[in-house]
Copies of this chain bind each other. A is one copy, B any other.
Amino acid sequence: MAAWKDNIRRVVPYVPGEQPKEPDIIKLNTNENPYGPTPRIKGISDDPDMLRLYPDPSISLLVDELARYHGVDSSQIFVGVGSDDVLAMSFMTFFNSDKPILFPDVTYSFYDVWADLFRIPYERPLLDDSFRLVKEDYYKDNGGIVFPNPNAPTGIYEPIETIEDIVKNNQDSIVIIDEAYIDFGGESALPLINKYDNLVIVRTFSKSRSMAGLRIGYAISNPELIKALNDVKYSYNSYTMNRPSIIMGAESVKDEEYFRNTINMVIKTREEFVEAVGALGFSCLPSATNFVFAKHEFIPAKDIFLAAKEAKIYVRYFDSPRINNYLRISIGTDEEMTTFVNFLKEFVSSYNKDSLN
């Protein structure tokens, strides 16, 4: 065997939700927004000069717009290729202790993959039986803390007081709050960055801003931590964001009205969907996101998942302990959700008949 084989970094990669290529499917499996992004982006990449020149490595157009939007200084914003890029870079930048980092047992399934990639030790305190965070589990020696709020795939939002307690009790660690879904219901921990120097907030354009296809995420923190992130980024790839993304991202931030409208539509559809499937024997965890985490009173989640896929409706199923009887269902348009509810109605009633026979 060639010696170079010993020097390859061997990893078990993250498995993203399916991106099926066939047309005419209803896609409720990767928490995309059913509405397009701001129409202001039309035509932006038609200028050839736009593409032949390198992008601004400091991404200042978008950074400045985000700083204005959040009422912080531009030195407090770091932009990356989706929040996954921002999180990966944060792990590489901040989690270099020998002590384990902490994140919940049920959470975004990329955290342990990054920890393995960068050889960071980790521990996973259990959520309680209602999938709530037990904050005291994070009051121990650690090399860093990361969790989403609202959590994924449960959709549950933890109150800001819980977040503050965890940040306050860990002033020797960097605490990363992944707020990918915060625009759909929760209160952001953002104001806490003025009070604590160990807090990093991560956001994405993929959900509330309908730009999953563009890959934009960002971190908000104090200038010292943002500089550390930028130093690592400039040591990895100076030009991560392409030119159309920078301009389109900035246009999205400017169009507040469109942004609020689409969020409100998603929330309204979510509440109607929760009620409709409740009548069919489903219970949904309380969601502050653009998806619901639902289980049926007697039909195994996997059966529903497979039957829905057969009917060209894709939802997400995780074959993992504690959550393998749940489905994560992204909120689509009213029409898509009605089609899905009708499918479920029929599936549940025929399942009932089958079990009676």
- Main SS at interface, chain A: loop
Instruction: Report whether A213 and B8 are in contact in the complex, using a CB–CB cutoff of 8 Å.
Output: no
Given known contacts A4-B172, A57-B19, A237 and B84 CB-to-CB distance under 8 angstroms = yes
Given known contacts A235-B113, A242-B214, A81 and B81 CB-to-CB distance under 8 angstroms = yes
Instruction: Report whether B248 and A245 are in contact in the complex, using a CB–CB cutoff of 8 Å.
Output: no
Residues in B whose Cβ lies below 8 Å from that of A50: 213
How many chain A residues touch B (CB < 8 A): the figure is 90
Of B12, B45, B82, the residue contacting A45 (CB under 8 A) is B45
Is A164 positioned at the interface, with any CB of B under 8 Å from its CB?
no
Q: How far is the CA of A173 from the CA of B7 in the complex (A)?
A: 9
Given known contacts A37-B52, A39-B48, A54-B30, A11 and B114 CB-to-CB distance under 8 angstroms = no
Instruction: Report whether B215 and A239 are in contact in the complex, using a CB–CB cutoff of 8 Å.
Output: yes
Residues in B whose Cβ lies below 8 Å from that of A41: 45, 51
Instruction: Report whether B11 and A84 are in contact in the complex, using a CB–CB cutoff of 8 Å.
Output: no
Instruction: Report whether A55 and B213 are in contact in the complex, using a CB–CB cutoff of 8 Å.
Output: yes
Most buried by B among A6, A41, A117, A238: A238
Q: How far is the CA of A49 from the CA of B43 in the complex (A)?
A: 14
Given known contacts A42-B46, A228-B8, A54 and B235 CB-to-CB distance under 8 angstroms = no
Residues in B whose Cβ lies below 8 Å from that of A235: 11-14, 113-114, 116-117
Of B51, B94, B234, the residue contacting A36 (CB under 8 A) is B51
Residues in B whose Cβ lies below 8 Å from that of A88: 236-237
Is A287 positioned at the interface, with any CB of B under 8 Å from its CB?
no
Is A210 positioned at the interface, with any CB of B under 8 Å from its CB?
yes
Is A305 positioned at the interface, with any CB of B under 8 Å from its CB?
no
Most buried by B among A45, A88, A233: A45
Of B3, B206, B228, B243, the residue contacting A54 (CB under 8 A) is B206
| A148-185 CB contacts (< 8 Å) to partner B | 171-174
Q: Could you give, for residues 77-89 of chain A, a 1 whenever the CB lies within 8 Å of some chain B CB and a 0 otherwise?
A: 0000110110010
| A231-260 CB contacts (< 8 Å) to partner B | 231-245, 248
Instruction: Report whether A52 and B33 are in contact in the complex, using a CB–CB cutoff of 8 Å.
Output: yes
Q: Which residue of B lies closest to A45 (CB)?
A: B45
Q: Shortest distance in angstroms between A172's beta carbon and chain B's nearest beta carbon?
A: 4
* Given contact pairs A16-B54, A16-B57, A52-B211, a sample of 6 additional A-B residue pairs in the complex whose CB atoms are under 8 Å apart: A9-B92, A19-B56, A51-B214, A51-B248, A85-B236, A114-B236
User: Which residues of chain A have a CB within 8 Å of any CB of chain B?
Assistant: 2-4, 6-17, 19, 21, 27, 30, 32-37, 39, 41-46, 48-57, 81-82, 84-85, 88, 92-97, 113-114, 116-117, 143-144, 171-174, 197-198, 206, 210-215, 228, 230-245, 248
